[in-house]
């Protein structure tokens, strides 16, 4: 894999998605504003980006209802996903690099659908790097809660309610073999069987402990490069160890350390493969002085090329 040392596009569009409709706990709807307050625009501009904040997408309010047939707020999530798809697709069609500022991770159904749709239009394969404590591969038959933020990877790879699948241009939106998961450490019992059967590639925390984050990312990025693919990065802040990212609804001990996360982001940047980004699950209602949004902004700076020493080579 050749190191390009730059992102695909420095014309960045920030797209706020203020919704917690896919989760149990309220508060992720405040995530986009937390990222703005933490200085996301300013730090991207320091990295040479031309930043346009298009504001917040709108969608249904959270009705806080129980699941129906294994789905909580199914139709509301469908509307959000379609609105997100339309906004992100438009920005990509204008030649911009979209950053979806979530919002709970169910919102990535819309962003992945848009990225996959646009890549199909330009005849380019798409791969997804899913950085998360959770596999998010549930269906209504396996989910203990019915929360759709636990289902987006399953939907992206072709499993789920027809109304969710219809947001994409095709089924699956992304072939399972093109999905790479990093930092996984919490998978529901029945969900695990679906993950194993699916054919997605999972680097759980034990795997990372054994081979290290550097080798993990080398393997993933080499495969993406070999496929000549657009890389969509979907970053859930609960992938990080809770002491450094407390402002999430589902804290799971044993996540990525600060340095592991930084190296992961730096290597993604150095690959030159990234073309779109989600930042999900920041919950200011559970945070301490906006520290989780601040670390997300810090890691985003590394994704966009910030280095301690420029031109550093391992």
Is residue 105 part of the annotated active site? The answer reads yes
Check 238, 241, 270, 278 and give the catalytic one.
238
Q: Is residue 52 part of a domain?
A: yes
Query: pLDDT tens digit string along 114-145?
Result: 999 999 999 999 999 999 999 999 999 999 99
Find where tokens 């996360």 sit.
Answer: 261
- Indicate whether 311 belongs to any domain: no
Give the structural domain span for 141. Answer: 11-303
E strand or H helix that includes residue 11: strand 11-17
Active-site residue (options: 136, 191, 266, 278): 136
Question: Of 76, 104, 132, 278, which is the active-site residue?
Answer: 132
136 tagged catalytic? yes
Is 281 considered catalytic here?
Answer: yes
Selecting among 20, 85, 104, 105, the annotated active-site residue is 105
Q: Token digits for 128?
A: 């997804």
The answer as to whether 312 is a domain residue is no
Q: Residue range 226-241: average pLDDT?
A: 98
Number of domains in the chain: 1
153-182 pLDDT per residue, tens: 999 999 999 999 999 999 999 999 999 999
Is 2's pLDDT higher than 60?
no
161 belongs to the catalytic site: no
Q: With contact defined as beta carbons under 8 Å apart, do 282 and 34 qualify?
A: yes
Residue 104 annotated to the active site? no
pLDDT grade for 311, boundaries at 50, 70 and 90: low
236 included as an active-site residue? yes
CATH number at residue 73: 3.40.800.10
In a domain, 116, yes or no: yes
Contacts of 208 (CB under 8 A, 6+ apart): 182, 183, 216, 256, 260
The answer to whether residue 5 sits within a structural domain is no
Q: Count of residues for the chain?
A: 314
φ, ψ (nearest 5 deg) of residue 270: -60, -25
Active site residue 204: no
pLDDT digits (tens, 9 = 90+) for 285-308: 999 999 999 999 999 999 999 986
How far is residue 95's CA from residue 12's CA, in Å, rounded to a whole number? 9
- Give pTM, 2 decimals: 0.95
**Does 253 map to a domain?**
yes
Say how far apart CA 189 and CA 168 lie, in whole Å: 28
Among residues 81, 87, 114, 113, the alpha carbon closest in space to that of 13 is found at 87
Q: Give 2: exposed, middle or buried? Use CB within 10 Å, 0-12, 13-18, 19+.
A: exposed
What is the tens place of the pLDDT at every residue in 32-65? 999 999 999 999 999 999 999 999 999 999 999 9
Coil, strand or helix at 234: strand
Residue of 149, 161, 230, 269 marked catalytic: 149
Does residue 112 form part of some domain? yes
Q: Which residues pair with 236 in a beta bridge?
A: 280
For 264, the enclosing helix (H) or strand (E) is: helix 258-271
Active site residue 232: no
Q: Sign of torsion, CA 119 129 173 61?
A: negative
The answer as to whether 314 is a domain residue is no
pLDDT of amino acid 116: 98
179-184, strands of its sheet edge to edge: 50-56, 11-17, 97-102, 274-280, 230-236, 126-131, 179-184, 201-204
Distances in whole angstroms, Cα of residue 169 to Cα of each of 85, 94, 117, 154, 162: 10, 19, 6, 16, 13
């Amino acid at each position: 894999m050749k190191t390009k040392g730059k992102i695909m596009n420095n014309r960045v569009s920030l797209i706020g998605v203020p919704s917690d409709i896919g989760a149990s706990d309220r508060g992720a709807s405040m995530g986009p504003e937390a990222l703005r307050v933490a200085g996301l625009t300013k730090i991207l501009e320091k990295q040479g980006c031309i930043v346009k904040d298009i504001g917040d997408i709108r969608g249904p309010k959270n009705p806080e209802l129980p699941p129906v047939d294994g789905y909580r707020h199914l139709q509301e999530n469908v509307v959000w996903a379609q609105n997100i798809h339309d906004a992100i697709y438009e920005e990509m069609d204008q030649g911009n690099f979209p950053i979806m500022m979530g919002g709970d991770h169910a919102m990535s159904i819309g962003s992945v659908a848009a990225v996959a749709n646009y890549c199909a239009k330009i005849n380019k394969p798409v791969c997804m790097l899913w950085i998360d404590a959770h596999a998010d591969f549930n269906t209504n038959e396996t989910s203990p809660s019915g929360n759709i933020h636990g289902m987006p990877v399953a939907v992206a790879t072709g499993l789920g309610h027809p109304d969710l699948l219809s947001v994409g241009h095709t089924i699956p939106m992304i072939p399972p073999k093109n999905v790479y998961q990093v930092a996984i450490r919490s998978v529901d019992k029945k969900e695990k069987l679906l993950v194993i059967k699916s054919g997605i590639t999972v680097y759980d925390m034990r795997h990372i402990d054994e081979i290290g984050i550097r080798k993990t990312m080398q393997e993933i990025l080499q495969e993406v490069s070999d496929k000549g693919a657009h890389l969509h990065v979907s970053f859930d802040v609960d992938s990080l160890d809770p002491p450094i990212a407390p402002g999430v609804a589902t804290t799971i001990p044993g996540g990525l350390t600060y340095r592991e996360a930084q190296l992961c982001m730096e290597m993604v940047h150095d690959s030159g493969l990234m073309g779109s980004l989600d930042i999900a699950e920041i919950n200011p209602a559970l945070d301490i002085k906006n520290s989780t949004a601040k670390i997300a902004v810090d890691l985003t700076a590394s994704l966009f090329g910030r280095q301690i020493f420029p031109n550093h080579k391992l």
